[in-house]
Structure 1
Amino acid sequence: MTLFAALRLPQEILFGKGQRHALATVAARLGRRALVCTDERFAATSVFAELVSALEAASVAVLIYDGVQPDVPADSVSVCVEDARTFDPEMVIGIGGGSCLDMAKCAALLLTHGGQLKDYYGEYKVPSPIIPVLAVPTTAGTGSEVTPVAVISDSERTLKVGISSPYLIATAAICDPELTMTCPPGLTAVAGADALTHAIEAFTAARRGVDHSLAQKHVFIGKSALTDHFALLAIKLLGRSLEKACKDGSDEDARADVMMGALAAGCAFGTAGTAAAHAVQYPAGALTHTAHGLGVATMMPYVMNYNLSASVTEMSQIGAALGLGTPGLDERQLAVAAIEKIRRLFAAIGITATLADLGLAADKLDWTAEQAFNIDRLIKNNPRPFDLDAMKRLVKAAYDGNFAASAM
């Protein structure tokens, strides 16, 4: 018997129009003091004020930290935690984009276990459970509301760093598509492309075996029967509605599809993991200071083409999920059609076509490839193996826009 699966998710996931109004009830079950992490923009909205008022009406005292910055600078977490210690929160609520949710996870971690964030970099460094985290996303992309990962930026390091532990998974994820209705087209595109990349990389991730210790030693453990289910759902929903949501942000059905797609992609990659597109983005993004979702989506078609020879079946299933099951196409033709569909979709929503367009300097190609190749937790997840020369060829192809060369 070879069937294997693993999945780690919040205790409760609530999804649907108006579900934000359940936040106060959920929080009241967990305690009477909540630290709320958000950014300055969302903190100034009437929706945020309504959520805070509902918490207070449910006898949950609130301390607001509205200084969340993009990519969560590590020192900002220390500021947040020091401000909150005397308040002694019993839970942390993250409301906003992925950075707000990651801030909530990191704050809960330090409030529970102390120390510095760098003490927890890597996998399985968190020693035991943290105080409950409630995640309320207002964008549809990172999937942080359901994943065991928090990504931060450390001024002492060139690349962003991650803390990965099942203990970081939110206790509850409350996903209300209405909160994304005012998300501008550019952010909708970049976040949605990030989610679609999560789903594709999770579905095409290497299958790592059935060793009973695998999931006890690693957070990302490759594809399985359960992660495949969520990944294909995400691909279907994002494939049919991401472009619609970018063109018409008032389309409620498209917004719901994109948010559910991002959620499902998070359910998939939170256990399966991501691979080469993310590995290249970490150094490329650090050098270009561009959005994470933009970088991974720029790389995704090239990585799919590189992986085609090792993942024809999976790529053809992606094609079917994208609605490309045209009669007469064999498995490989459907796989190729899937890659072309992703290229066209990303172009239509404004994703950069090359690493050069992303702003990567030509003299940094080898450095980018070397850094990407050394991110072992992602590279070992890729279905087609890499050596350093292969990574250099992939990065060069993505820089030049030479799509055919990415398969070599």
Structure 2
Amino acid sequence: MTYKNYPMVSRVVFGRGSFNQLDEILAPKRKGRNAPFIFYVDDVFKGNHWLTSRISLSYNDKIIYIPTNEEPKTSQIDQLVEDIILEYSELPSGIIGIGGGIVMDVAKAVSLMLTNKGQSKDYQGWDLIKNPAIYHVGIPTISGTGAEVSRTTILTGPVRKLGINSDHTPFDQVILDPELTKDVPTNQWFYTGMDCFVHCVESLNGTYLNAFSQSYGEKAFELCQEIFLEDHLSKEESQDKLMMASWHGGMSIAYSQVGVAHAMSYGLGYLLGVKHGIGNCIVFDHLEDYYPEGVAMFKKMKEKHGIELPQGICADLTDAQFNTMIDVALSLEPLWENAIGKNWKTKITRDVLLKLYKKM
């Protein structure tokens, strides 16, 4: 039996105000005046000097705002990489992603594609990246996706929505500053937090479960229950704990895998452009047959926070559109194997998925 030799984030700093240490963390990594740092910043912070005034730019450093109304596309990554190659004579000293899962995935993907030839769509899958990425840093401003710790970067390509899963994907440095999450709107906080909760449920109920993933998954699950079902936490404590839940949830799936909700959510994302967190919620709401206890708890959380999920998003789809979503979902074989077991193909038929999608 071979065991996964799993790459971790090699450096992490945690604490309120730790974002202020960005300069001193980056300084030793600068390769010279022609090798800039590129900062990809969630465009929600455009004009928000509270955050951007703390990024000090030297030489040719640049802030680029990344729109987050839709998930990253392979064509977008290729364009960002080309922009850097055309503008600078040397490779950047580093890529820094400041934002939610979308922005962190963009930073990871660009840092990989600067050192690997061709188009990013050619690397969607498992272990296709050959060369190490350039130095890259992740700074989450919302908690739950686990993107800050994962070995994947989720991209929508011409034919599928699938991550670049590789040992070179994880960040070299992560800064976890819970203060950066202070202005997240309630709905967004809930959907992204539920991404973490669903990670835990799928990991803890999966056939890939082992003591490593279980220890992280149980901690994240416990934190999610405390944050979303109990009333004793201050806003600051809740922010701190959700940031830790996100990290632990990400670590849990790193050494196992996600399951049914994620596989089906990729279908919604690919066809309808539904964002990942809310997509997971829409799917998970209908998965009592697979995760009865987790779904019951999710419904309680939803009620407690007054969250109304979109209904009927698949109501007017054609057979061809349903088939596209089903194709995307079924292509994620490791997720189904984790959720159902080696014989998953006998249980997860196109008809089973069609019935589920029609409920959404």
**Which residue of structure 2 lines up, in the alignment, with residue 121 of structure 1?**
124
Question: What displacement does 1:160 show?
Answer: 1.9
Question: What displacement does 1:22 show?
Answer: 2.2
Counterpart pick for 2:332 among 362, 365, 375: 375
**Which residue of structure 2 lines up, in the alignment, with residue 177 of structure 1?**
178
Question: Cα–Cα, structure 1 residues 204 and 285, in superposed 2: closer, same or farther, change >3 Å?
Answer: same
Question: Cα–Cα, structure 1 residues 7 and 351, in superposed 2: closer, same or farther, change >3 Å?
Answer: farther
Question: Cα–Cα, structure 1 residues 294 and 345, in superposed 2: closer, same or farther, change >3 Å?
Answer: same
Letter in 1 for 2:216: F
Letter in 2 for 1:19: S
Question: What displacement does 1:242 show?
Answer: 3.2
**Which residue of structure 1 lines up, in the alignment, with residue 300 of structure 2?**
344
Question: Cα–Cα, structure 1 residues 84 and 228, in superposed 2: closer, same or farther, change >3 Å?
Answer: same
TM-score w.r.t. length of structure 2: 0.85
Query: What are the ranges of 5 or more consecutive residues in structure 1 without an aligned counterpart?
Result: 208-222, 309-335, 402-408
Give SS of 1:170's match. coil
1:211-262 per-position Cα deviation (integer Å, ceiling 9, x unaligned): xxxxxxxxxxxx22111111111111111113679xx9x8111111112111
TM-score w.r.t. length of structure 1: 0.76
**Which residue of structure 2 lines up, in the alignment, with residue 80 of structure 1?**
80
Question: What displacement does 1:395 show?
Answer: 5.1
Question: What displacement does 1:105 show?
Answer: 1.0
**Which residue of structure 2 lines up, in the alignment, with residue 242 of structure 1?**
228
% identical equivalent positions: 23
CA contact (8 A) 1:65 1:80 kept: no
Letter in 2 for 1:345: M
**When you count helix as a share of all residues, which structure comes out higher?**
1
**Which residue of structure 2 lines up, in the alignment, with residue 396 of structure 1?**
355
Q: Does 1:108 align with 2:111?
A: yes
CA contact (8 A) 1:297 1:346 kept: no
CA RMSD in angstroms, aligned pairs only: 2.9
CA contact (8 A) 1:91 1:131 kept: yes
**Which residue of structure 2 lines up, in the alignment, with residue 232 of structure 1?**
218
* Cα distance in 2 between the residues matched to 1:5 and 1:125: 16
Letter in 1 for 2:73: P
* Cα distance in 2 between the residues matched to 1:119 and 1:394: 27
Q: Does 1:306 align with 2:289?
A: yes
How many residue pairs get aligned? The number is: 347
- Larger mean CA deviation between 391-400 and 96-105 belongs to 391-400
Question: Cα–Cα, structure 1 residues 243 and 77, in superposed 2: closer, same or farther, change >3 Å?
Answer: farther
Query: What are the ranges of 5 or more consecutive residues in structure 2 without an aligned counterpart?
Result: none
Counterpart pick for 2:345 among 373, 384, 387: 387
Question: Cα–Cα, structure 1 residues 262 and 390, in superposed 2: closer, same or farther, change >3 Å?
Answer: same
* Cα distance in 2 between the residues matched to 1:339 and 1:41: 31
Give SS of 2:38's match. strand
* Cα distance in 1 between the residues matched to 2:65 and 2:94: 16
**Which residue of structure 1 lines up, in the alignment, with residue 166 of structure 2?**
165
Counterpart pick for 1:52 among 51, 55, 58: 55
Letter in 2 for 1:375: L
Question: Cα–Cα, structure 1 residues 243 and 362, in superposed 2: closer, same or farther, change >3 Å?
Answer: farther
Q: Does 1:14 align with 2:17?
A: no
* Cα distance in 1 between the residues matched to 2:91 and 2:170: 21
